[in-house]
Amino acid sequence: MTLISFLGPKGTFTHEAANLVGEELIPYCTIPAVLESVDNGECSLGVVPIENSIEGPVGITLDSLAHKFDLKIFKEIIIPINQNLIVNPGCTMDDIEDVYSHAQALAQCQDFVRKHKIQPHYAISTARAAKDIMGDKSKAAIGNSKIVELYGLEILKSNIQDVDNNATRFVVVSKDDHEITGADKTSIIFSIYEDKPGGLYNILGIFQKNDINLTKIESRPSKKGLGKYLFFVDFEGHKDEDVICDILKEIQEHTYYFKILGSYPKF
């Protein structure tokens, strides 16, 4: 039996992503707790968000993988984020005075909330918001369709997000590497020795000269002082391929800090 941890509670988009991985699911309250459950062997896999197409990277996931846990990205999952106005059965728009959801969900639906002159309120999660509105027709929640199934509520308005192409990327973490599939991505972290002209350019030029496509680059504070950064890079290929192996060795020789987060199939 493969136990899979995920950022809970049930009814969130992370829960939806975890359902695509397996059925033996265990919710945890924080992203570090999910990663810890895999690191200490309580669970075989963990599912956490790493990036949203509108809000950007999930800093706590990047920082935890960089500094706290020696885990591998085993798989990626991309979920379209379709937000819905969730209400008690029989409720109409005229009944609603307040709407509750996670801060990110409310931010994604600002135009709808403003247009309908509903008072927004923050909740610790979309699932918690749905649970808190039960039995009160003056209150609504914003979240995904799975919440409706869990709490006996109904969707009054579908797809109320401001931007239609909103999506979140989740990663499945493991202690083990994924084998080569022929259609892979690799994620790495590095920092350069000093802040000087061309420092980052020289590292990225290693990919260019080997004709390797970069799919993402992000920077995060290294926590070593102002102006010092870690760079997170995703690129096509598997770390065990000869050309990728040579690239990684060359990068490691020219960086102060270097870590491979994993090679895994492209979603």
> Are residue 12 and residue 60 in the same domain, yes or no?
yes
Mean pLDDT in the chain?
A: 91
- 170 and 65 share a domain? yes
pLDDT less than 50: residues of the chain = none
Q: For the chain, how big is the Rg over CA atoms in Å?
A: 21
d(Cα 4, Cα 18) in Å, to the nearest integer? 8
Residues 201, 234, single domain; the answer is yes
Q: Residue 226's pLDDT is what?
A: 62
Q: Tokens 């914003």 map to which residue?
A: 142
Q: What is the pLDDT of residues 83-135, one digit of tens each?
A: 999 999 999 999 999 999 988 889 889 999 999 999 999 998 888 899 999 99
Residue 150: closest CA among 41, 8, 3, 4: 8
Peptide bond into 9 cis (omega under 30): yes
* Cα separation, 154 vs 16, whole angstroms: 18
Residue 179 in domain: no
Q: Is 98 inside any structural domain?
A: yes
pLDDT value of residue 199: 77
Contacts for 58-65 with beta carbons within 8 Å, 24 or more apart? Answer: 58/31, 59/220, 60/30, 60/31, 60/32, 61/31, 61/171, 62/218, 62/220, 62/232, 63/220, 63/223, 64/31, 64/32, 64/35, 65/35, 65/173, 65/189, 65/261
Model confidence pLDDT, tens digit, residues 216-240: 998 887 666 665 778 999 999 999 9
- Structural domain boundaries enclosing 195: 184-265
Residue 150: per-residue pLDDT = 85
pLDDT of 201: 84
Give yes or no: residues 35 and 70 share one domain.
yes
pLDDT at site 104: 84
Same domain, 68 and 97: no
Predicted local confidence at residue 254, as pLDDT: 86
pLDDT of residue 196: 63
Q: What is the pLDDT of residue 166?
A: 85
User: How much is the pLDDT for 221?
Assistant: 78
**Shared-domain flag, residues 170 and 38:** yes
